[in-house]
Amino acid sequence: MRTAMNRRQLLRMLGATAALSAGGGLAGCAARGGKDADVIVLGAGISGLYSAMLLEEAGFRVLVVEADRRTGGRIFTLDTVDGRPEAGGFEVGPMYARVLAQVERFGLGLHGWLGESIRYALHVGDRLMPASAWSAAQENRLAGEFRARPPFTLASALLPESSPLPGLESWLEPEVASRWDRPYGDYLREQGADEAALALLSVGLAADEIDQMSLLWILRQQKVREFSRDAGRLQFIDGGMSRLVDAMQGSLHGDLELGCPVEAIGSDAQGVEVRCGGGRRLRADFAVSSLPLTALRRIAVHPGLPERQRAAVENIPYGHGTSVFLPVREPYWEEDGLPPSIWSDGMLPRVMKWQSQAGEYLWVYLSGIANDFCRNNPDDVVLEKVMAELYRIRPSMQGRVEPGAIMCWSKHPWLHGTFAYRGPGDVRRYGAAASTPHGRVHFAGEHTSVLSMGLEGAMESAERAAFEVLERVS
């Protein structure tokens, strides 16, 4: 974390210098007319907006172009839905220094966990049961010491007690990668997990299959969790995560164009040219692309990316996730006496009773292979099937839980997934290639973060990309 602080201080210092010299230095970089901005930022998720803010603070004229009709990307508070649920990122970890700094800067409020902690009933082998029935259940096909563990605690029991990665950034070091960048499933088998255990360990995983996930990625997540563990508690932004996006967007001075999908990016010694839908061309000295790789791989880049970077953009996998939010009209759990939430190895891996400032609702999250049906069917068909399955496995919900809102990230026209992860060998193959500047194009986005993950990782990446641009002109 100290590294980040020093960088930020340096960034501020360079910002002051760039602001003073913006007229001369920047104009010299693009000695040609018709420039639309000094920097074009592609994408108005949190990393794009934060890059734009930092670059503006440093004196650059910034233009943000966003394909969607709204800003925020994978942050999306559903303001008009019962309980005002979060369709995307919302948990603010105790180590989220950058997110927390912006929350403070904009005078936003924070609150802790509301309501009771999540208590699961188990739905395994198509039987719904209390967790206390699990160890003796005939659906429990686990062997030996594993039998007594609720299935959602198996993964932590099989991982090393503390992460073997020396530091937060170590996952990118070649010697670390050569040891740990291998199939997660192989490691679990070595720890004694049989096929029954592997089936339960696959539930809720971002990858469709356990062997599509790198052990190194799991260990990276574990390392990040360890750092946060003693640092404090999770927090949530009052009014929803989109309030931070609104404030960040509102603080920008330059233009922000919505409904402007980028189709091509060109870069030469003089500057960059960005082509948007409808053939519109925008020119600047530099571009910062905050587009997820799922979007970038659909865009033409001239000149083409070097082979390793191109392969990284094409192949780094993204998770699939669908959130379904359902208003609860009556406490169905009082009817059947089971805990309100459900952990399942079936079609609906996690059903969580959730409490926000705006009320209570059920959050059904379908990830990994359980998401397959959502990816391939229209939302109304998915919602109908989710309701039918819920009523089937838990009849007490009938008449007490209603259909609500649905967000399938895999079908999102600009995002096509939830978040980047790494498959076995990906770190060895691609390292940090996806974030290497290409000509005058720099890259941000959660998929390029090194130390942090999620929202904080997205902001970390924005800081790095803005810093790279500053270095070019200082």
Ligand X SMILES: Cc1cc2nc3c(=O)[nH]c(=O)nc-3n(C[C@H](O)[C@H](O)[C@H](O)COP(=O)(O)OP(=O)(O)OC[C@H]3O[C@@H](n4cnc5c(N)ncnc54)[C@H](O)[C@@H]3O)c2cc1C
Q: 222 φ, ψ to 5°? A: -60, -40
Residue from 88, 240, 254, 349 touching ligand X (CB under 6 A): that is 88
Nearest-angstrom CA–CA distance, 76 and 79: 9
User: With the C-alpha atoms ordered 96, 40, 266, 20, is the resulting torsion angle positive or negative?
Assistant: negative
Number of residues that bind ligand X (CB under 6 A): 38
Bridge partners of 404? none
CB atoms within 10 A of CB 404: 21
What is the distance of C-alpha 434 from the center of its chain? 16
15 part of the interface to ligand X, by CB under 6 A: no
Residue from 39, 40, 48, 312 touching ligand X (CB under 6 A): that is 48
Give the residue with the Cβ less far from ligand X, 124 or 434.
434
Nearest-angstrom CA–CA distance, 217 and 206: 11
Which of the residues 141 through 200 are near ligand X (CB under 6 A)?
Answer: none
CB atoms within 10 A of CB 145: 9
363 part of the interface to ligand X, by CB under 6 A: no
90 part of the interface to ligand X, by CB under 6 A: yes
Nearest-angstrom CA–CA distance, 463 and 457: 10
102 part of the interface to ligand X, by CB under 6 A: no
418 part of the interface to ligand X, by CB under 6 A: yes
CB of 409 to ligand X, least distance (A): 5
245 part of the interface to ligand X, by CB under 6 A: no
Nearest-angstrom CA–CA distance, 26 and 472: 10
User: Segment contacting ligand X (CB under 6 A): 44-52, 77-85, 132-140, 305-313?
Assistant: 44-52
Give the residue with the Cβ less far from ligand X, 36 or 68.
68
291 part of the interface to ligand X, by CB under 6 A: yes
Q: What is the DSSP letter of 306?
A: P
CB of 192 to ligand X, least distance (A): 32
Range list of H helices, 153-261? 154-158, 174-180, 184-190, 195-201, 215-229, 242-250
Residue from 151, 185, 292, 340 touching ligand X (CB under 6 A): that is 292
67 part of the interface to ligand X, by CB under 6 A: yes
Residues in contact with ligand X by CB under 6 A are: 42-48, 65-68, 73-75, 88-91, 261-262, 290-292, 295, 299, 321, 323, 409, 414-415, 418-419, 445-446, 454-456, 458
